[in-house]
Chains A and B, each alone.
Chain A
Amino acid sequence: TQLLEQSPQFLSIQEGENLTVYCNSSSVFSSLQWYRQEPGEGPVLLVTVVTGGEVKKLKRLTFQFGDARKDSSLHITAAQPGDTGLYLCAGATSGTYKYIFGTGTRLKVLA
């Protein structure tokens, strides 16, 4: 059974701080996605990475896919209260038609 572990599970920080969220597995993924979910809503896609070592930036968010395609990280620079939410990674292995979601990281940014 594939398992995607995210750390930390919870994170509460002050506005302006930097943070990194990790997504780790023993499986090799053909693609990995990051989503953000706000209370009472479905997840919304932030980014998809498919190449080992790939780095993608989305404004203050930087996503990295590990060289071995077993792990990924999300770094937020100068966090803002609007970044508050549940961050989820989701990985798909080669030859499958489904994503397996990680355990989630709940982020709260205090003004």
Chain B
Amino acid sequence: NAGVTQTPKFRILKIGQSMTLQCAQDMNHNYMYWYRQDPGMGLKLIYYSVGAGITDKGEVPNGYNVSRSTTEDFPLRLELAAPSQTSVYFCASSYPGAGDLGEQYFGPGTRLTVT
């Protein structure tokens, strides 16, 4: 299994440009998450999904959009990029267990710079 894969690994955007961060998992996990991590900080939840066709906002959804058309893929769309969106973006997936949401498996991250 490849686990959770993310592309691209690095990207530089100009202010106002748009892009899609790709995330895929091959573990048949129901739950998928997008986080951003600013330097030296913890992770902030952007959006999450509990299954194909179901998405919901996290703590910091403004400026982002997601879709979940399949179990495997959970792309994150940035519209009109702003310098405040400079961050490292992590995608994660999990399979809920008894009493908890399950271990989150993280991708390697996408480092995005907006200038």
Q: Across the A-B interface, how many residue pairs have beta carbons closer than 8 Å?
A: 69
Neighbouring B residues of A102 by C-beta, 8 Å: 42
Neighbouring A residues of B42 by C-beta, 8 Å: 4, 6, 88, 101-104
Neighbouring B residues of A103 by C-beta, 8 Å: 41-42
Q: Which of A35, A92, A101 contacts B101 (CB 8 A)?
A: A92
Q: How large is the interface on A (under 10, 10 to 19, 20 to 34, 35 or more residues)?
A: 20 to 34
Cα distance A90–B37 in the bound complex, in angstroms: 14
Q: Please tell me if the beta carbons of A92 and B100 are within 8 angstroms of each other in the complex.
A: yes
Question: B78 at interface (Cβ–Cβ under 8 A)?
Answer: no
Q: Which of B4, B35, B48, B90 contacts A97 (CB 8 A)?
A: B48
Question: B106 at interface (Cβ–Cβ under 8 A)?
Answer: yes
Chain B residues within 8 Å of A, Cβ to Cβ = 4, 31, 33, 35, 40-45, 48, 50, 56, 58-59, 90, 92, 99-101, 103-104, 106-109
Chain A residues within 8 Å of B, Cβ to Cβ = 1, 4, 6, 30-31, 33, 35, 40-45, 48, 50, 88, 90, 92, 97-104, 106
A31-B100, A44-B106, A92-B101 are known contacts; what are 8 more A-B pairs with Cβ within 8 Å? A4-B42, A45-B103, A50-B100, A88-B43, A99-B101, A101-B42, A103-B41, A104-B42
